A and B are shown apart, each in its own frame.
Chain A
Amino acid sequence: MQTPKEIGGIRFGLMDPETYRDMSATKVITADTYDDDGYPIDMGLMDPRLGVIDPGLECRTCGQHSGSCNGHFGHIELAAPVIHVGFTKLIRRLLRSTCRQCGRLALTDDEQAEFRSRMQRAEELSEDWSDVMKAAVRQARKAKRCPHCNEPQHDIKHEKPTTYYEVQDVLSGEYSELIAEAMQPDEEEDREGMAPQELAEKTDIDLQRVNQILSGEFRPRKEDRKAIEKALSIDLTVEDMNKLMPSDIRDWFEDIPNDDMETLGIDSERARPEWMILTVLPVPPVTARPSITLDNGQRSEDDLTHKLVDIIRINQRFMENREAGAPQLIIEDLWELLQYHVTTFIDNEISGTPPARHRSGRPLKTLSQRLKGKEGRFRGSLSGKRVNFSARTVISPDPTLSLNEVGVPDRVASEMTQTMNVTERNIEEAQQYVRNGPESHPGANYVKRPDGRRLKVTEKNCEELAEKVELGWEVNRHLVDGDIVIFNRQPSLHRMSIMAHEVVVMPYKTFRLNTVVCPPYNADFDGDEMNMHALQNEEARAEARVLMRVQEQILSPRFGENIIGAIQDHISGTYLLTHENPHFTETQALDLLRATRVDELPEPDGEEDGKAYWTGHSIFSELLPDDLSLEFSSSTGDDVLIEDGQLLGGTIDEDAVGAFGGEIVDTITKVYSETRARIFVNEISSLAMRAIMHFGFSIGIDDESIPEEAGEQVDEAIENAYERIEELIDTYDAGELESLPGRTVDETLEMKIMQTLGKARDSAGEIADDHFGDDNPAVIMARSGARGSMLNLTQMAGCVGQQAVRGERINRGYEDRTLSHYKPNDLSAEAHGFVENSYRGGLTPREFFFHAMGGREGLVDTAVRTSKSGYLQRRLINALSELETQYDGTVRDTSGTIVQFEFGEDGTSPVKVSSSKDNDIDVDSIADRVMDAEFDDEATRQQFLGREEPPTNLSEHAEPRLSDARAPEVESDD
């Protein structure tokens, strides 16, 4: 690939107004854009020296045409300086920390030296230098007088966004009245009067002087003022605000010496503070703000151009008024207006400033709005772009595909292409693709000649073009079966959200995938859409195949066990196949295994009515590796025993073959290989589907019903609970309820009621449970872990139970009651959201309402959780994105700072290490397995282990000596 320009480095700083003028192609003085003939006006905003957008015109600066000319900056000479909104905080800091008279930083030399060394240290440790700067500003602001010229310093008030005042406490003009009033007795405020004599004594001022002050003849000095204020507890000052015009600030900043700036961490070579006050405004090139021609032939200008028009107009009015000698008030108004336009040109979303609007009322999108936010230049155009060679459509399931595959609609396959380099080995194939044309499926869309010309393959020219294809050409052929593509479902929260699949081209319009890859993508088929990306070079295809293929992602780095495995009906299927170990005839057994590699049955397990039969266990065992031995307990509750690839007992359910840590899948992946695991999972899902179809599996409303006597028992259990609650409430009302430690009586009562109701629901559940048969499909699903729980089932058949909001019984609604149907302060179960009915029996209206309250909380929680976790994810990714594991095993950031001396402090991958403490790695058996695979005969194996010296004929002395030969084996210590 070609690099247009190589970036050596980036430096951020302020720009010198002289540089603005130097780089400017022209000064812009008129606010007009085009003349009546549609030609750009000279020295206007569309001046052809700023670049061209209309095709055919020539750039007056570089001579190139639109497309090749990137555009050139112009400039506007501002009639008066204005503040750059992007730097208001820094301007405030500098005003507060430097001297109003001499411009020096109001720090003593010692203080300066200290902050300098702190700044240096911060840089060395790559810490945030702005903390040091803030501290220096804080320190300098404390100075009442400049340590260098002794000028008293004023406080600076910043009125957002761009106005600064110097604030001084000065004596109020009405000081004599204020004092006199405070000396009068006031009954309302319960104050005694004070005679001038008394005041003079209290303040230590001459009585004569006091009288002079009282008559307004003499303005008290600061010390006297403070004494009087204290004696009478009044405030005699008013704030005197002196507005600092941008020109004043500019003059002030020009005096700040370079050395003092360094203490604040500002490099004056690159950023003189006075450059934060604009005197020249750069005009972005025309290419950055192109005008569009509407259908009716009218031109519509870019928002930036509109804003620049405003700026030039006000700039001109300002100049005209000043030359005409307009009053100061008018000049100041125009100055403020100019400031507003320049401010909104830079940022149109400043709080406290009304945004500049389009005629239609839409706020203008100015410079900062182009950069900020999700759709801005950084997040929208640079970090994220729309990509070529990608496709998106709805997904649907296809159990006949391998988990590594994806079904791609033919219309997608003929749009996405792969580049074929034509060689003598594939030339015929390549020609055939071209011959097929762009419309029939394994065809080609483009060819590229060695001279770089790209030719489109059409239905008309395909025959002809095919003959022309020669060695060295490139053919862009359609996707075909076996190509590797990347497949993704948003939100891409973990690495298994993006995996590589092999293409299987199929009819119709959806992507097809095997249901076992639903857990890693968190996909279902209720309308989910997924993205596909066709890879465009050999390197990418190789990486995808080796690292990203689905089978390589079977183990999750999150918990170190398999995330791909049997789900839902697969699990019900294996449960039915193995739980009661049913018998199958030869036909049935072969039918179950028809979608697997097995085409010969093992020896039958026995004979029944003169016919051979096979058990579910031995059919399942056909899929296991021959030497697999395992022992674990199933989620159904029995112990599963596998010896030498034969299932000897136990039920195969979620704990055995399920996604999220199914024992057999996990073991096969870790002990055998990813490929073996892929085959196993594929075959298990096929076998399970066959099995569930063999037995038949459905669920209906009658499967949740319980006999009448069971219903009566449930009612009785609930009735008992109600009685106990009544008793509790009675004890409470009598004031005899004893509170539990650390709780109030009210809380205790609430807890006990909750407990009683919880128990009632549980016993209702148990009763219902007792009446369900073992062949009940809902029970099978719950026991095997396929879907649902016994709790779901008892809520359907027995009793739904207590509804809760914020972990408590429902207590909200009306004053002292939840609904107007109840008496105030009714503590009973039904008044606080206990649902005694079952889902199947149906809820009463009031129960339904309480149930909706609890349900709503759940929905709100999920909504809040997803948005919160999405933001958290973004922040985490931004924080960690630059960390990288280096070849020496350390984890470092881009500056080379070590974050971890060894990846994860142990240098191990979470998928290659045992996930739990009690399931430790069996090093011995792994070592044995490796040795068995590596060495065929015992002798070389012993040699490798160092227990036997290899024979040598170099010298007799090199042979093991007699004494060594018999040396006892050293016990290894682990």
Chain B
Amino acid sequence: MVDVSQHKLVPEHTLVDEEAVDEVLQEYNVERTNLPKIKRKDPAVPDEAESGDVVRIVRDSRTTDQAVVYRLVIE
């Protein structure tokens, strides 16, 4: 199997621990379910992620160097 996370076009996906999730939710003043979603079966999602977890995705950006996005893992 190809490990897509090693591909240069796949941005970094990391699992966010609960404490940090709360901080993110507080910062944006949202419920967990109001985050963008990502399927658990998505090959870019870390293997240990379960549905209900939140992943942080860090993309390269021409204008801001890095763009950070949080997504809720769903079934």
Q: Which of A's residues lie within 8 Å of B, judged by CB?
A: 121, 124-126, 888, 890, 892, 895-902, 905-908, 913, 917
Contact = CB atoms under 8 A, between A and B. Distances in A.
B61 A905 contact: yes
A974 to B, nearest CB: 11
Contacts of B75: 121
A902 B64 CA distance: 11
A901 B63 contact: no
Contacts of B34: 892, 895-898
Interface residues of B, number: 21
Contact of B64 (A125, A900, A905): A905
A917 B35 contact: no
Contact of B68 (A121, A124, A901, A917): A901
Contacts of B28: 888, 890, 898, 901
B36 A899 contact: yes
Nearest to A901: B69
Contacts of B16: none
B67 A906 contact: yes
B33 interface: yes
Contacts of A913: 63
B33 A126 contact: yes
A896 B61 contact: no
B30 A906 contact: no
A907 B28 CA distance: 15
Interface string B19-43: 0000000001111011111000000
Query: Which of B30, B33, B75 is packed against the most chain A CB atoms within 10 Å?
Result: B33
B13 interface: no
5 contacts: A125-B72, A125-B74, A898-B35, A901-B69, A906-B64
Contacts of A899: 36
Interface of B: 28-31, 33-37, 59, 61-64, 67-70, 72, 74-75
Which applies to chain A's interface (DSSP): helix, strand, loop or mixed?
loop
Query: Which of B34, B35, B70 is packed against the most chain A CB atoms within 10 Å?
Result: B34
Contact of A917 (B30, B61, B62, B69): B62
Given A126-B33, A896-B34, A897-B36, 4 more contacts: A898-B30, A900-B69, A905-B64, A906-B64
A908 B28 CA distance: 19
A880 to B, nearest CB: 15
Nearest to A890: B28
Contacts of A901: 28, 67-70
Nearest to A914: B63
Contacts of A121: 75
Query: Which of B28, B29, B70 is packed against the most chain A CB atoms within 10 Å?
Result: B28
A913 B59 CA distance: 19
Nearest to A892: B34
Contacts of A908: 63-64
B67 A125 contact: no
Contacts of A125: 33, 37, 72, 74
B62 A905 contact: no
Contact of B67 (A888, A896, A905, A917): A905
A906 B33 contact: no
A902 B67 contact: yes
A896 B68 CA distance: 19
A143 to B, nearest CB: 25
B26 to A, nearest CB: 12
A905 B35 contact: no
B36 A896 contact: no
Nearest to A888: B28
Contacts of B30: 896, 898
Contacts of B31: 896
A278 B70 CA distance: 49
A896 B32 CA distance: 11
Closest 5 CB pairs of A and B: A906-B63, A905-B67, A906-B64, A897-B34, A124-B33
A737 B23 CA distance: 71
Nearest to B35: A898
B36 to A, nearest CB: 6
A890 B27 CA distance: 11
Contacts of B69: 900-901, 905
A103 B62 CA distance: 61
B59 to A, nearest CB: 7
B8 to A, nearest CB: 18
A936 B28 CA distance: 42
Contacts of A892: 34
B61 A906 contact: yes
A353 B69 CA distance: 52
Contacts of B68: 901
Contacts of B63: 906, 908, 913
Nearest to A126: B33
A121 B64 CA distance: 35
Query: Which of A126, A905, A917 is packed against the most chain B CB atoms within 10 Å?
Result: A905
Contacts of A126: 33
B33 A907 contact: no
A893 to B, nearest CB: 9
Contacts of B35: 897-898
B62 to A, nearest CB: 7
Nearest to A900: B69
A917 B61 CA distance: 12
A917 B62 CA distance: 8
A892 B70 CA distance: 14
Nearest to A897: B34
A907 B36 contact: no
A521 to B, nearest CB: 30
A125 to B, nearest CB: 5
A888 B61 CA distance: 20
Contacts of A888: 28-29
Nearest to A920: B62
A969 to B, nearest CB: 26
A900 B70 CA distance: 9
B36 A905 contact: no
Contacts of B37: 125
B21 to A, nearest CB: 14
A913 B62 CA distance: 11
Contacts of B33: 124-126, 897
Contacts of B36: 897-899
Nearest to A125: B33
A905 B59 contact: yes
Contacts of A897: 33-36
A121 B74 CA distance: 10
Contacts of B61: 905-906
A528 B59 CA distance: 46
A902 to B, nearest CB: 7
B25 to A, nearest CB: 11
Contacts of B59: 905
Contacts of A898: 28, 30, 34-36
A897 B29 CA distance: 11
B74 to A, nearest CB: 6
B23 to A, nearest CB: 14
Contacts of A917: 62
A909 B2 CA distance: 38
A897 B72 CA distance: 11
A888 B27 CA distance: 10
Nearest to A917: B62
A900 B29 CA distance: 14
A124 B61 CA distance: 32
Nearest to B59: A905
A907 B29 CA distance: 18
A20 to B, nearest CB: 38
Contacts of A890: 28
A211 B11 CA distance: 76
A908 B75 CA distance: 34
Contacts of A902: 64, 67
B53 to A, nearest CB: 14
A901 to B, nearest CB: 6
Contact of A907 (B64, B70, B72, B74): B64
Query: Which of A888, A895, A906 is packed against the most chain B CB atoms within 10 Å?
Result: A906
Contacts of A907: 64
